[in-house]
Amino acid sequence: MVAEVEWARMTAPDLREIAAGKNALAILPIGSLEQHGPHLPVITDTASASEAAIRAARLVSGEMPVAVLPGLWLGMSEHHLPFGGTITLDFEALRKVLQCIVRSLKALGFSRLLIVNGHGGNIDPLAVAVRELAVEFSMPIVSTLPWELAPEETAQIFEVDTGAHHACEGESSVMLAITPQTVRSDRFEQAFGNQQHPLENLPKGATRFYSFSEHAPTTGTWGDPRSATAEKGERFLNLQAAEVAKLIRCDALWTAPDPVWSAGRGQKTSAGRLEI
């Protein structure tokens, strides 16, 4: 029997016991609440991140104390606002929410945090927040986007959209596996039809803000959901879970953060005192 791993399904004494265990790991799925074309629910990114996190936790639950927090449904999604249905944080608010979560986990006794991200707009802000919060709280914190962990294996699952796009074959397949009643498969043709991607050939090495209405101005969809199936979604979720479990088991990711802000830290590297 697999141990319970979902935070929301456990009692406070259950979670106290987990947090007291050696190297107790908390997992925070994070996604967004944003438009996903005319065919997928706005909770898609959060649902996919939560499912991957829970499946991964079940794979390692016999090896370590672990608990998966409820999915954080607010991310940075301002670029999706033109299509409606989107609620977003800014970076300051997102970092503050994460700071409060990490502070709470530290107070409870958890030793480590893995953030499983399901939304592309969170990648950059999470990269900054994770590096700052890890040092601030002296806690190993790792962030991952499971969609990018096994590109070759992913390409063998899907027929059309072999990479992560938006409301595409991959996301549609995952949602068909998780919650098929929320997927409007009768609108797949509408979602794919008349797609325009005027920003596909941007020069490399530069960055700026673009709204998604500039990337995919007709339906808010980037990709082809028409070949999506629940079976593909199951295969993909199991692949994500296995890859996330590898990260959890990778000792090199979970070393203590270097206390770079401590007094006198600039006088000595990890190898010893510098000689001038």
- All domains in the chain, ordered by first residue: 7-256 (3.40.50.10310)
Contacts of 230 by beta carbon, 8 Å cutoff, 6+ apart: 173, 176, 177, 180
Q: How many CA atoms lie less than 13 Å away from 136 in the CB half-sphere?
A: 15
DSSP3 helix / strand / coil % (the chain, rounded to 5): 50, 10, 40
Q: What is the CA radius of gyration of the chain?
A: 20
Largest Cα span, the chain: 71
Tens-of-pLDDT digits for all 276 residues of the chain? 678 999 999 999 999 999 999 999 999 999 999 999 999 999 999 999 999 999 999 999 999 999 999 999 999 999 999 999 999 999 999 999 999 999 999 999 999 999 999 999 999 999 999 999 999 999 999 999 999 999 999 999 998 866 678 999 999 999 999 999 999 999 999 999 877 777 778 888 998 998 988 888 889 999 899 999 999 999 999 999 999 999 999 999 999 999 999 999 888 887 776 666
DSSP string, 117-185: E--GGGHHHHHHHHHHHHHHHT--EEEE-GGGS-HHHHHHH-SS--S--BSSHHHHHHHHHH-GGG--G
Q: Is-contact 21 203, C-beta < 8 A? A: no
Q: Is-contact 73 31, C-beta < 8 A? A: yes
Q: Which residues pair with 40 in a beta bridge?
A: 36
Which residues of the chain form beta strands (DSSP E)? 25-30, 66-68, 112-117, 141-144, 268-269, 272-273
pTM of the model: 0.95
Distance CA 143, CA 54 (A): 15
